[in-house]
Protein backbone atom coordinates (compact mmCIF):
# COMPACT_ATOMS: atom_id res chain seq x y z
CA UNK A 1 0.00 0.00 0.00
CA UNK A 2 1.23 3.48 -0.84
CA UNK A 3 0.15 6.84 0.56
CA UNK A 4 0.82 10.46 -0.28
CA UNK A 5 1.24 12.76 2.72
CA UNK A 6 0.62 16.37 1.69
CA UNK A 7 1.58 19.42 3.76
CA UNK A 8 1.43 22.70 1.85
CA UNK A 9 1.86 24.93 4.90
CA UNK A 10 4.96 27.14 4.75
CA UNK A 11 4.97 27.26 8.57
CA UNK A 12 5.22 23.50 9.11
CA UNK A 13 8.82 22.36 8.50
CA UNK A 14 8.41 18.61 8.28
CA UNK A 15 11.86 17.88 9.71
CA UNK A 16 11.86 20.71 12.24
CA UNK A 17 11.52 20.50 16.02
CA UNK A 18 8.17 22.24 16.49
CA UNK A 19 5.14 20.30 17.69
CA UNK A 20 3.59 20.41 14.23
CA UNK A 21 6.84 19.05 12.75
CA UNK A 22 6.92 16.21 15.26
CA UNK A 23 3.30 15.44 14.40
CA UNK A 24 4.13 15.02 10.70
CA UNK A 25 7.11 12.80 11.50
CA UNK A 26 5.22 10.56 13.90
CA UNK A 27 2.23 10.02 11.61
CA UNK A 28 4.70 9.15 8.85
CA UNK A 29 6.52 6.71 11.14
CA UNK A 30 3.25 5.03 12.10
CA UNK A 31 2.42 4.57 8.43
CA UNK A 32 5.85 3.12 7.68
CA UNK A 33 5.68 0.79 10.68
CA UNK A 34 2.43 -0.56 9.24
CA UNK A 35 4.27 -1.33 5.99
CA UNK A 36 2.62 1.53 4.13
CA UNK A 37 4.98 3.29 1.73
CA UNK A 38 4.84 7.07 2.03
CA UNK A 39 5.69 9.93 -0.31
CA UNK A 40 5.96 13.33 1.39
CA UNK A 41 4.77 16.36 -0.55
CA UNK A 42 5.79 19.34 1.57
CA UNK A 43 6.33 23.08 1.31
CA UNK A 44 8.89 23.38 4.11
CA UNK A 45 11.61 20.89 4.96
CA UNK A 46 13.20 22.51 8.03
CA UNK A 47 16.04 20.62 9.67
CA UNK A 48 17.90 17.46 8.83
CA UNK A 49 15.87 14.38 7.99
CA UNK A 50 15.80 11.84 10.86
CA UNK A 51 17.79 8.70 10.11
CA UNK A 52 14.74 6.44 10.07
CA UNK A 53 12.98 8.58 7.44
CA UNK A 54 15.84 8.99 4.95
CA UNK A 55 14.37 6.47 2.49
CA UNK A 56 11.23 8.52 1.90
CA UNK A 57 10.56 10.12 -1.46
CA UNK A 58 10.20 13.84 -0.76
CA UNK A 59 8.52 16.13 -3.27
CA UNK A 60 8.97 19.85 -2.64
CA UNK A 61 5.92 22.10 -2.95
CA UNK A 62 7.48 25.35 -4.14
CA UNK A 63 5.75 28.53 -2.99
CA UNK A 64 7.02 31.89 -4.23
CA UNK A 65 8.80 34.13 -1.72
CA UNK A 66 6.48 37.07 -2.10
CA UNK A 67 6.52 39.88 0.51
CA UNK A 68 3.17 41.29 -0.61
CA UNK A 69 0.61 39.35 1.46
CA UNK A 70 -2.30 39.74 -0.95
CA UNK A 71 -0.27 38.51 -3.90
CA UNK A 72 1.23 35.68 -1.83
CA UNK A 73 -2.24 34.43 -0.94
CA UNK A 74 -3.26 34.24 -4.61
CA UNK A 75 -0.02 32.57 -5.64
CA UNK A 76 -0.42 29.94 -2.92
CA UNK A 77 -3.92 29.14 -4.22
CA UNK A 78 -2.56 28.83 -7.76
CA UNK A 79 0.16 26.44 -6.48
CA UNK A 80 -2.50 23.78 -5.96
CA UNK A 81 -2.33 23.04 -9.69
CA UNK A 82 1.39 22.25 -9.52
CA UNK A 83 0.92 20.06 -6.45
CA UNK A 84 -1.86 18.09 -8.13
CA UNK A 85 0.35 17.66 -11.19
CA UNK A 86 3.18 16.34 -9.00
CA UNK A 87 0.82 13.88 -7.33
CA UNK A 88 -0.29 12.67 -10.76
CA UNK A 89 3.33 12.14 -11.81
CA UNK A 90 4.03 10.12 -8.64
CA UNK A 91 0.95 7.88 -8.65
CA UNK A 92 -0.52 5.38 -8.09
CA UNK A 93 -1.53 6.01 -4.48
CA UNK A 94 -3.98 4.02 -2.39
CA UNK A 95 -4.94 7.03 -0.33
CA UNK A 96 -3.96 10.63 0.42
CA UNK A 97 -3.38 12.07 3.88
CA UNK A 98 -3.29 15.87 3.94
CA UNK A 99 -2.56 18.25 6.79
CA UNK A 100 -5.10 21.04 6.42
CA UNK A 101 -3.34 24.22 5.28
CA UNK A 102 -4.97 27.59 4.76
CA UNK A 103 -4.67 27.79 0.97
CA UNK A 104 -4.38 24.12 0.00
CA UNK A 105 -6.92 21.69 -1.40
CA UNK A 106 -4.50 19.82 -3.69
CA UNK A 107 -4.28 16.53 -1.81
CA UNK A 108 -8.01 16.23 -1.30
CA UNK A 109 -8.90 17.33 -4.83
CA UNK A 110 -6.44 14.85 -6.32
CA UNK A 111 -7.72 11.96 -4.17
CA UNK A 112 -11.34 12.74 -5.02
CA UNK A 113 -10.50 12.75 -8.73
CA UNK A 114 -8.96 9.29 -8.35
CA UNK A 115 -11.79 7.97 -6.14
CA UNK A 116 -9.40 6.94 -3.38
CA UNK A 117 -9.72 7.74 0.35
CA UNK A 118 -9.02 11.42 1.01
CA UNK A 119 -8.05 11.84 4.68
CA UNK A 120 -7.80 15.38 5.98
CA UNK A 121 -6.20 16.24 9.33
CA UNK A 122 -7.45 19.51 10.87
CA UNK A 123 -5.48 20.85 13.82
CA UNK A 124 -6.91 24.36 14.13
CA UNK A 125 -9.52 26.81 12.77
CA UNK A 126 -7.00 28.29 10.38
CA UNK A 127 -9.14 31.00 8.80
CA UNK A 128 -9.89 32.47 12.23
CA UNK A 129 -6.27 32.04 13.36
CA UNK A 130 -4.91 33.79 10.28
CA UNK A 131 -7.34 36.67 10.63
CA UNK A 132 -6.59 37.17 14.33
CA UNK A 133 -2.85 36.57 14.57
CA UNK A 134 -1.17 36.97 11.19
CA UNK A 135 -3.41 38.98 8.90
CA UNK A 136 -5.77 37.81 6.17
CA UNK A 137 -6.45 39.78 3.00
CA UNK A 138 -8.79 37.61 0.95
CA UNK A 139 -10.90 35.91 3.61
CA UNK A 140 -13.60 34.89 1.11
CA UNK A 141 -11.02 33.02 -0.95
CA UNK A 142 -9.68 31.29 2.18
CA UNK A 143 -13.19 30.15 3.04
CA UNK A 144 -13.81 28.91 -0.51
CA UNK A 145 -10.59 26.88 -0.48
CA UNK A 146 -11.58 25.41 2.88
CA UNK A 147 -15.03 24.47 1.52
CA UNK A 148 -13.40 22.84 -1.50
CA UNK A 149 -11.04 20.92 0.76
CA UNK A 150 -13.82 19.71 3.08
CA UNK A 151 -16.04 18.81 0.12
CA UNK A 152 -13.36 16.61 -1.47
CA UNK A 153 -12.35 14.88 1.78
CA UNK A 154 -13.82 11.48 2.56
CA UNK A 155 -12.69 11.56 6.21
CA UNK A 156 -11.87 14.61 8.33
CA UNK A 157 -9.82 14.09 11.48
CA UNK A 158 -9.99 16.79 14.15
CA UNK A 159 -7.71 16.89 17.18
CA UNK A 160 -10.40 18.02 19.63
CA UNK A 161 -14.14 18.48 20.11
CA UNK A 162 -13.66 22.23 19.74
CA UNK A 163 -12.06 21.85 16.31
CA UNK A 164 -14.72 19.29 15.36
CA UNK A 165 -17.46 21.82 16.14
CA UNK A 166 -15.69 24.41 13.99
CA UNK A 167 -15.28 22.01 11.05
CA UNK A 168 -18.85 20.78 11.39
CA UNK A 169 -20.10 24.35 10.90
CA UNK A 170 -19.25 23.84 7.22
CA UNK A 171 -22.02 21.87 5.46
CA UNK A 172 -19.36 20.31 3.21
CA UNK A 173 -17.83 18.53 6.22
CA UNK A 174 -20.91 17.10 7.89
CA UNK A 175 -20.97 13.36 8.35
CA UNK A 176 -17.22 13.07 7.73
CA UNK A 177 -15.78 14.36 11.02
CA UNK A 178 -14.04 12.17 13.61
CA UNK A 179 -12.20 13.38 16.71
CA UNK A 180 -8.70 11.92 16.94
CA UNK A 181 -6.45 13.45 19.64
CA UNK A 182 -2.72 13.54 19.20
CA UNK A 183 -0.62 10.57 20.26
CA UNK A 184 2.92 9.72 21.26
CA UNK A 185 5.75 7.50 20.08
CA UNK A 186 5.97 5.34 23.19
CA UNK A 187 9.06 3.51 21.87
CA UNK A 188 11.15 6.67 22.29
CA UNK A 189 10.75 6.52 26.06
CA UNK A 190 10.71 2.80 26.78
CA UNK A 191 14.13 2.77 28.46
CA UNK A 192 13.64 5.67 30.89
CA UNK A 193 14.93 4.63 34.34
CA UNK A 194 12.69 4.75 37.40
CA UNK A 195 14.09 7.14 40.05
CA UNK A 196 15.05 5.77 43.45
CA UNK A 197 12.59 7.32 45.90
CA UNK A 198 14.64 6.23 48.91
CA UNK A 199 17.42 8.73 48.16
CA UNK A 200 17.24 12.42 48.92
CA UNK A 201 17.72 14.42 45.77
CA UNK A 202 16.66 17.50 43.89
CA UNK A 203 13.03 17.36 42.81
CA UNK A 204 12.64 18.74 39.29
CA UNK A 205 9.59 20.13 37.52
CA UNK A 206 9.70 20.20 33.74
CA UNK A 207 7.99 22.08 30.94
CA UNK A 208 8.41 21.30 27.24
CA UNK A 209 7.11 23.48 24.43
CA UNK A 210 7.36 26.65 22.41
CA UNK A 211 7.75 29.67 24.64
CA UNK A 212 4.62 31.56 23.64
CA UNK A 213 2.11 33.34 25.90
CA UNK A 214 -0.67 30.76 25.63
CA UNK A 215 1.51 28.03 27.13
CA UNK A 216 1.49 29.75 30.53
CA UNK A 217 5.19 29.37 31.33
CA UNK A 218 5.18 32.71 33.15
CA UNK A 219 2.47 31.27 35.43
CA UNK A 220 4.69 28.26 36.06
CA UNK A 221 7.66 30.43 37.06
CA UNK A 222 5.48 32.46 39.43
CA UNK A 223 4.13 29.28 41.01
CA UNK A 224 7.61 27.78 41.23
CA UNK A 225 8.85 30.86 43.10
CA UNK A 226 6.30 30.17 45.84
CA UNK A 227 7.11 26.46 45.94
CA UNK A 228 10.87 26.94 45.97
CA UNK A 229 10.66 29.36 48.89
CA UNK A 230 9.26 26.58 51.06
CA UNK A 231 10.94 23.61 49.35
CA UNK A 232 14.46 24.72 48.37
CA UNK A 233 15.41 21.25 47.07
CA UNK A 234 13.23 21.90 43.97
CA UNK A 235 14.34 22.90 40.48
CA UNK A 236 12.61 23.82 37.21
CA UNK A 237 13.69 22.90 33.66
CA UNK A 238 12.06 24.73 30.75
CA UNK A 239 12.79 22.99 27.45
CA UNK A 240 12.09 25.05 24.36
CA UNK A 241 12.56 28.34 22.61
CA UNK A 242 10.31 31.10 21.39
CA UNK A 243 9.37 34.78 21.58
CA UNK A 244 8.96 34.80 25.37
CA UNK A 245 12.39 33.41 26.18
CA UNK A 246 14.05 36.68 27.15
CA UNK A 247 11.02 37.80 29.17
CA UNK A 248 11.04 34.50 31.05
CA UNK A 249 14.76 34.82 31.80
CA UNK A 250 14.12 38.34 33.12
CA UNK A 251 11.25 37.04 35.24
CA UNK A 252 13.48 34.35 36.76
CA UNK A 253 16.18 36.93 37.47
CA UNK A 254 13.73 39.34 39.13
CA UNK A 255 12.57 36.53 41.43
CA UNK A 256 16.18 35.53 42.26
CA UNK A 257 15.57 32.12 40.71
CA UNK A 258 18.12 32.17 37.93
CA UNK A 259 20.28 29.54 39.69
CA UNK A 260 17.44 27.03 40.05
CA UNK A 261 15.62 27.53 36.73
CA UNK A 262 17.21 26.22 33.55
CA UNK A 263 15.91 27.34 30.16
CA UNK A 264 17.59 24.99 27.71
CA UNK A 265 16.56 26.49 24.39
CA UNK A 266 15.64 24.26 21.49
CA UNK A 267 16.22 20.52 21.96
CA UNK A 268 15.87 18.11 19.04
CA UNK A 269 13.31 15.29 19.29
CA UNK A 270 16.10 12.68 19.34
CA UNK A 271 17.48 14.22 22.55
CA UNK A 272 14.17 14.65 24.36
CA UNK A 273 14.26 11.31 26.17
CA UNK A 274 17.41 12.46 27.98
CA UNK A 275 15.68 15.69 29.03
CA UNK A 276 12.71 13.80 30.43
CA UNK A 277 15.05 11.66 32.51
CA UNK A 278 16.04 14.81 34.41
CA UNK A 279 12.43 15.56 35.38
CA UNK A 280 10.18 14.25 38.13
CA UNK A 281 6.96 15.94 36.97
CA UNK A 282 5.74 17.33 33.66
CA UNK A 283 3.70 20.54 33.85
CA UNK A 284 1.17 21.92 31.34
CA UNK A 285 0.24 25.26 32.97
CA UNK A 286 -2.10 26.73 30.34
CA UNK A 287 -3.93 29.96 31.31
CA UNK A 288 -7.70 30.37 30.93
CA UNK A 289 -7.58 33.42 28.67
CA UNK A 290 -7.08 31.41 25.46
CA UNK A 291 -9.33 29.52 23.07
CA UNK A 292 -8.08 26.06 23.99
CA UNK A 293 -8.87 23.91 20.96
CA UNK A 294 -5.63 21.96 20.55
CA UNK A 295 -4.51 18.50 21.63
CA UNK A 296 -1.36 18.94 23.77
CA UNK A 297 1.46 16.74 22.52
CA UNK A 298 3.51 17.55 25.61
CA UNK A 299 1.02 15.86 27.96
CA UNK A 300 1.23 12.58 26.04
CA UNK A 301 5.03 12.79 26.00
CA UNK A 302 5.19 13.44 29.74
CA UNK A 303 3.09 10.33 30.31
CA UNK A 304 5.07 8.15 27.89
CA UNK A 305 8.27 9.27 29.65
CA UNK A 306 6.95 7.97 32.96
CA UNK A 307 6.18 11.36 34.48
CA UNK A 308 3.10 12.35 36.45
CA UNK A 309 1.39 15.36 34.91
CA UNK A 310 0.20 18.59 36.48
CA UNK A 311 -2.12 20.28 34.01
CA UNK A 312 -4.67 23.06 33.79
CA UNK A 313 -8.29 21.91 33.80
CA UNK A 314 -9.17 23.09 30.31
CA UNK A 315 -9.75 21.45 26.95
CA UNK A 316 -8.72 17.81 26.67
CA UNK A 317 -6.38 17.86 29.65
CA UNK A 318 -9.01 16.84 32.18
CA UNK A 319 -9.87 13.88 29.94
CA UNK A 320 -6.24 12.79 29.57
CA UNK A 321 -5.10 13.10 33.19
CA UNK A 322 -6.76 10.93 35.82
CA UNK A 323 -6.56 12.88 39.08
CA UNK A 324 -4.50 11.17 41.77
CA UNK A 325 -3.74 8.29 39.41
CA UNK A 326 -1.63 9.72 36.57
CA UNK A 327 -1.33 13.30 37.86
CA UNK A 328 -3.31 16.30 39.03
CA UNK A 329 -5.43 18.95 37.32
CA UNK A 330 -5.69 22.46 38.68
CA UNK A 331 -7.49 25.70 37.90
CA UNK A 332 -6.36 27.61 34.83
CA UNK A 333 -7.73 30.86 36.28
CA UNK A 334 -5.38 31.21 39.27
CA UNK A 335 -2.10 29.67 40.39
CA UNK A 336 -3.16 28.55 43.88
CA UNK A 337 -4.06 25.05 42.69
CA UNK A 338 -0.89 24.85 40.61
CA UNK A 339 1.23 25.72 43.65
CA UNK A 340 -0.56 23.13 45.80
CA UNK A 341 -0.11 20.39 43.19
CA UNK A 342 3.58 21.20 42.76
CA UNK A 343 4.15 21.16 46.51
CA UNK A 344 2.24 17.92 46.96
CA UNK A 345 4.33 15.93 44.52
CA UNK A 346 7.63 17.38 45.74
CA UNK A 347 6.69 16.39 49.29
CA UNK A 348 5.53 12.93 48.17
CA UNK A 349 8.15 11.71 45.68
CA UNK A 350 7.12 8.07 46.00
CA UNK A 351 3.61 9.05 44.92
CA UNK A 352 5.06 10.98 41.99
CA UNK A 353 6.91 7.86 40.87
CA UNK A 354 3.81 5.66 41.21
CA UNK A 355 1.67 8.10 39.26
CA UNK A 356 4.36 8.39 36.60
CA UNK A 357 4.43 4.63 36.17
CA UNK A 358 0.64 4.60 35.86
CA UNK A 359 0.84 7.41 33.30
CA UNK A 360 3.35 5.48 31.23
CA UNK A 361 1.12 2.39 31.23
CA UNK A 362 -1.82 4.56 30.18
CA UNK A 363 0.17 6.08 27.32
CA UNK A 364 1.27 2.70 26.04
CA UNK A 365 -2.19 1.20 26.33
CA UNK A 366 -4.24 4.01 24.78
CA UNK A 367 -2.21 6.85 23.22
CA UNK A 368 0.39 5.48 20.81
CA UNK A 369 0.52 6.75 17.24
CA UNK A 370 0.07 3.14 16.08
CA UNK A 371 -3.30 3.06 17.86
CA UNK A 372 -4.23 6.40 16.30
CA UNK A 373 -3.34 5.04 12.85
CA UNK A 374 -5.45 1.94 13.43
CA UNK A 375 -8.43 4.24 14.01
CA UNK A 376 -7.67 6.19 10.84
CA UNK A 377 -7.45 3.07 8.68
CA UNK A 378 -10.63 1.65 10.19
CA UNK A 379 -12.61 4.86 9.67
CA UNK A 380 -11.30 5.10 6.10
CA UNK A 381 -12.32 1.56 5.26
CA UNK A 382 -8.71 0.72 4.45
CA UNK A 383 -7.07 -2.60 5.17
CA UNK A 384 -3.35 -3.25 5.00
CA UNK A 385 -3.92 -5.86 2.28
CA UNK A 386 -5.32 -3.24 -0.09
CA UNK A 387 -3.11 -1.89 -2.85
CA UNK A 388 -3.28 -0.60 -6.36
CA UNK A 389 -0.11 -2.57 -7.02
Domain boundaries, the chain: 2-183+368-380, 186-366
Cα–Cα distance, 125 to 152 (Å, whole number) = 18
| CATH fourth-level superfamily of 186-366 | Glycogen Phosphorylase B; (3.40.50.2000)
**Structural contact between residues 241 and 215, judged by C-beta atoms closer than 8 angstroms:** no
pTM: 0.91
pLDDT one digit per residue (tens) for the chain, 389 residues: 999 999 999 999 999 888 899 999 999 999 999 999 999 999 999 888 999 999 999 999 999 999 999 999 999 999 999 999 999 999 999 999 999 999 999 999 999 999 999 999 999 999 998 898 888 999 999 999 999 999 999 999 999 999 999 999 999 999 999 999 999 999 888 644 555 555 557 999 999 999 999 999 999 999 999 999 999 999 999 999 999 999 999 999 999 999 999 999 999 888 899 999 999 999 999 999 888 898 999 999 999 999 999 999 999 999 999 999 999 999 999 999 999 999 999 999 999 999 999 999 999 999 999 999 999 999 999 986 655 54
DSSP SS3 for 291: coil
- Beta-bridged to residue 42, according to DSSP, are 7, 60
* DSSP code of residue 102: T
Closest CA to 187 of 16, 353, 30: 30
* DSSP code of residue 1: -
Q: Which CATH code of 3.30.559.10, 3.30.70.260, 3.40.50.2000, 3.20.20.140 fits the domain covering 2-183+368-380?
A: 3.40.50.2000
**Identical fold between 2-183+368-380 and 186-366:** yes
Amino acid sequence: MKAAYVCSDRGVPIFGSKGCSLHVQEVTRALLQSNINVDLHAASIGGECPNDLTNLDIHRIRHAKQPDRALREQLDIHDNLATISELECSEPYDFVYERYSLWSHAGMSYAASRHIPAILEVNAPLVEEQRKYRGLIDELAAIEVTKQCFEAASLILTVSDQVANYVDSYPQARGKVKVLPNGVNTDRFSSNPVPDSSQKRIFTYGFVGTLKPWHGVDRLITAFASVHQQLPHTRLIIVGDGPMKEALISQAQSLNLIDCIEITGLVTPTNMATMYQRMDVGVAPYPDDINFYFSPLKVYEYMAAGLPVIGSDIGQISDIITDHTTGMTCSASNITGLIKAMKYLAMNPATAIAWGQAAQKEARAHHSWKQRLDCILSWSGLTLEQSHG
